Structure 1
Amino acid sequence: MTGTRTALVTGASGGLGAAFAAELAARGYALVLTARGRDRLEALAAGLRERHGGEVAVLPADLTEPAGLAAVEERLAAGTDLLVNNAGTFGGVAPFAVGAVAAEEHKIALNVVATVRLTRAALPPMVGRGSGGILNVSSVAGFLNAPGGAVYCATKAFVTSFTETVRAETTGLGVSVTVLCPGATRTDARPGRRSRLGPLLDPAFVVRAGLDALAAGRPLCVPGLEYKSRVLLARHMPRGLTRTIFHRGWGRSQASVAKEANS
């Protein structure tokens, strides 16, 4: 496999992570797949080896635990051509006054801390050799501040800002850094055509859009015309008007839940 590009994908056992793994295997990458569950990773890896004949290694790790995070950092520090920071968690929809603090801390650990730590581990070898790519998966929710997802939206706003800034800091160094901000995406747990946020996107479409944006050197990718329009409006309209247009009573409904739960 000498000369083969290597990609490490986090959160690879399902959803967008599995779609990234499939697309990158089809593009000829040797893969390192990481997620918490070894069995699902092994099954995915076996299927990809059978279909594409490439090298697929698995690295089971919980990125919210010090040992798991350190193991993936060590692998990245050894050098890889592409890091896809896909691992993340949404959790349930609930007002902040109701949700468990431990669950919110878990979102911060996975969505923010792991993304920062793994980006930092991958970047120096890439800068040193003058090549490589990092694709951090954020969300359009980071622009919309949707009630019921206070911490999730905040973590994704962080990922977007962080990635765009790192991208600016690596200008001219041969390293491509892109943030992918998909809207609601179809999974086994989320079938159908639409969510409250907008249309459900096909995972393969989202993955190709993100990888193509990275290859083109674009700092930000929002797949889908409807979501592009929403983000454009959210970025440039007064924030009060954004809340009026997009939240459509979300805030009041979540306030009612908080009031009932704390009465």
Structure 2
Amino acid sequence: MSFRGKWALVTGASSGIGEQFARQLAKQGSHLVLVARSEGKLENLASVLTKMYGIKAKVICMDLSKEGAPSELYQQCQCFKVDIELLVNNAGFATHGFFEQVSGERQHEEVMLNVAAVVDMTHLFLPDMLRKNSGAVINVASTAGFQPLPYMAVYGATKAFVLSFTQALWWENRSRGIQFFALCPGSTDTSFFNVVGTEEASVGKKDAPERVVEVALRALKEGRTYVVPGVQNYIRAQLSRFITRKQALRLVGGMLRPRVDSGNNKYKNTGNQSDLAGRTIR
């Protein structure tokens, strides 16, 4: 599909993968609705992209983890009189640590943003696409969606939901002019791991967000249902097909277990500090 002259909505657009979606779509001539909590960053990005590529850009500052936020966002788009033909559900965040030690309120927000907002946004914007028999939805999942993640249990489960949800809707809409696509990156060089005590959640060499988005947009145009950028990431994502689930849990759990505190030789309680840099990241 061509993005030129069409409106794309990108959530979590203020940094990382979301920002790269905005930049690369603008370069291809797409008009943008940019959504995140950081209004200053969004305004600056919108200004840069409109001047650089001559596109139109709207900014909506919003926390999509709040109840009713997707509906409010949809209404604002209606007020702007723009028809969204590409929806990029990118906003998300993770928590890390022993499940019972992580804030229950924070994990609830994680589910609301990573799962509920994706479902609500898709449900709101899909009917307009169907009326035009044209459109696409990109949902940012993760390699975390291919197997359970001890010490990141909620995050892994939310990304498994996103991957399953996206592929199911790809099948439902394959003959209706609407394309559904899941981007499943591995460790990416964004603000995702910039919290003390969470770097152990990074596996392997970090990919550049520019490359991740380039791979995603190319795969979308090729009509694929999902993509895992990077050969090593793809191998890791498929590993659970060739070993038992218990073996996979032992392997992943060993990598993600919170660090040992040398002061008392006990595992750190990282649950209250490891929000992995906020809501506007993958």
Corresponding residue pairs, total:
256
What secondary structure is seen at the aligned counterpart in 1 of 2:61? coil
Alignment-derived partner of residue 238 in structure 1: 244
- Verify: 1:221 aligned to 2:224, yes or no: no
Cα distance change on mapping 1:7 and 1:216 into 2, 3 Å: same
Please tell me whether the aligned partners of residues 98 and 269 of structure 2 are also in contact (alpha carbons under 8 angstroms): no
AA aligned to 2:120 is R
The 5-angstrom pairing of residues 98-109 of structure 1 reads 98-109=101-112
Shift of 1:24: 0.4
- Verify: 1:97 aligned to 2:107, yes or no: no
Cα distance change on mapping 1:63 and 1:195 into 2, 3 Å: closer
Alignment-derived partner of residue 88 in structure 2: 84
The one-character-per-residue Cα deviations of 1:20-65 (angstroms, maximum 9, x if unpaired) are 1000000110011011121111011111112212111111111122
Stretches of 4+ moved more than 6 A in 1? 258-261
Please tell me whether the aligned partners of residues 82 and 133 of structure 1 are also in contact (alpha carbons under 8 angstroms): yes
Q: TM-score, normalised by structure 1?
A: 0.88
Distance 1:125 1:189 in 2: 33
- Verify: 1:181 aligned to 2:190, yes or no: no
Cα distance change on mapping 1:260 and 1:188 into 2, 3 Å: closer
User: RMSD value over aligned CA atoms?
Assistant: 2.6
Alignment-derived partner of residue 38 in structure 2: 37
Shift of 1:95: 0.9
Alignment-derived partner of residue 214 in structure 2: 208
Q: Percent identity?
A: 35
The one-character-per-residue Cα deviations of 1:146-182 (angstroms, maximum 9, x if unpaired) are 2221111111111111111111111111111001110
Please tell me whether the aligned partners of residues 76 and 121 of structure 1 are also in contact (alpha carbons under 8 angstroms): no
AA aligned to 1:15 is G
Question: Unaligned regions of 5+ residues in structure 2, if any?
Answer: 195-199, 261-265, 272-282
Cα distance change on mapping 1:34 and 1:100 into 2, 3 Å: same
Alignment-derived partner of residue 114 in structure 1: 117
Structure 1 residues 245-254 or 175-184, which shifts more? 245-254
Please tell me whether the aligned partners of residues 9 and 32 of structure 1 are also in contact (alpha carbons under 8 angstroms): yes
Cα distance change on mapping 1:166 and 1:138 into 2, 3 Å: same
Shift of 1:72: 1.8
Alignment-derived partner of residue 257 in structure 1: 267
What secondary structure is seen at the aligned counterpart in 2 of 1:118? helix
Alignment-derived partner of residue 47 in structure 1: 48
Cα distance change on mapping 1:115 and 1:190 into 2, 3 Å: same
Shift of 1:70: 1.8
Higher relative contact order at CA 8 Å, sep ≥6: structure 1 or structure 2?
Answer: 2
Shift of 1:134: 0.3
Question: Unaligned regions of 5+ residues in structure 1, if any?
Answer: none
What secondary structure is seen at the aligned counterpart in 2 of 1:147? coil
Cα distance change on mapping 1:98 and 1:31 into 2, 3 Å: same
Structure 1 residues 110-119 or 136-145, which shifts more? 136-145
AA aligned to 2:112 is A
Q: TM-score, normalised by structure 2?
A: 0.83
Shift of 1:188: 5.0
AA aligned to 1:83 is L
Shift of 1:102: 0.2
The one-character-per-residue Cα deviations of 1:54-86 (angstroms, maximum 9, x if unpaired) are 111111111122353222223567631100000
Structure 1 residues 69-78 or 198-207, which shifts more? 69-78
Alignment-derived partner of residue 150 in structure 2: 147
AA aligned to 1:186 is D
